[in-house]
Amino acid sequence: MAVDTSTNRVPDDELVRRIAEGHQPAFAELFRRLHPAVFRFALHMAGSVSTADDVVQDVFLIVMRDAGRYQSGRAAVTAWLCGIARNCIRQRMHRDRRLTPLDPVSDHERASDTSGPADPLAGLLRAERADALRRAVQTLPVPYREALVLCDLQEMTYEDAAQVLECPIGTVRSRLHRARALLATKVLGTERQGVEPRVDLRTGEPDQAQPADDAERAARRGGIDVGGCYV
């Protein structure tokens, strides 16, 4: 996809406005800038490289069609795109309720996943632990997974995450706190005991887990901080 250098310094929201007017170079530039963020979000949510690629295509097709619906100032363009991706992923989940396996990630795919803004996982964990953590994220109930991916892995503000999730900021904070505690319990239990704690995926409640605050304190002793989640 060709890139017009005249759009390089144009703000994201202005690119969307131009796309709504049919400006193809603006679309190419927006895709270049933001498709890595959309891909990462879809990958962490769906757990499949092929599904994430499909979601990226779906999202930017919708952008071409509905760019005029974007309201500048209400949310960042990245948040708007992740909101579209969230709807696409949920539609896929409804169509196929089976658990989606995590595809093996090749070196090329890892490069795609970490292009653009840095993923906190990449800089803080060895590759094998990143894979284990990615798998652990997949076991979180969807509402908690969404909050964790948006706020910790995408480094999105609470305000923008609330726009994506269509819920109050307080709900985002609550889900994120619970997601961090569940993830810490799961990863810590896997590493120290060799088995995964049982979690009710409908409620997000561990069947036999220590209280969330205890889990977080214990996880902190592990000494690695992943976007606010210690594992």
Q: pLDDT tens digit string along 57-113? A: 999 999 999 999 998 888 899 999 999 999 999 988 887 765 444 444 443 333 344
Q: Which CATH number fits domain 119-231: 1.10.10.10, 1.10.3210.10, 3.40.50.2300, 1.10.3720.10?
A: 1.10.10.10
> Taking the complete model, does pTM exceed 0.85, yes or no?
no
If you average pLDDT over residues 14-29, what whole number do you get? Answer: 94
d(CA 85, CA 209): 32
The beta strands (E) that lie in 5-152 are given as none
Whole-number pLDDT of residue 190? 55
Closest among 164, 163, 161 to 176, alpha carbons compared: 161
Q: Are 139 and 193 in contact (CB under 8 A)?
A: no
pLDDT band at 11 (very low <50, low <70, confident <90, very high): very high
Mean per-residue pLDDT, 30-52 = 92
Percent of the chain with pLDDT over 70: 64
Residue range 1-117 in CATH 3.30.365.10: no
Q: Where are the domains of the chain?
A: 1-117, 119-231
40-49, 54-63, 186-195, 205-214 — most confident range: 54-63
Is the confidence at residue 209, as pLDDT, over 50? no
Please give the radius of gyration of the chain, using alpha carbons only, rounded to the nearest integer.
18
Spatial neighbors of 2 by CB under 8 A, at least 6 apart, are 25, 28
pLDDT value of position 184? 86
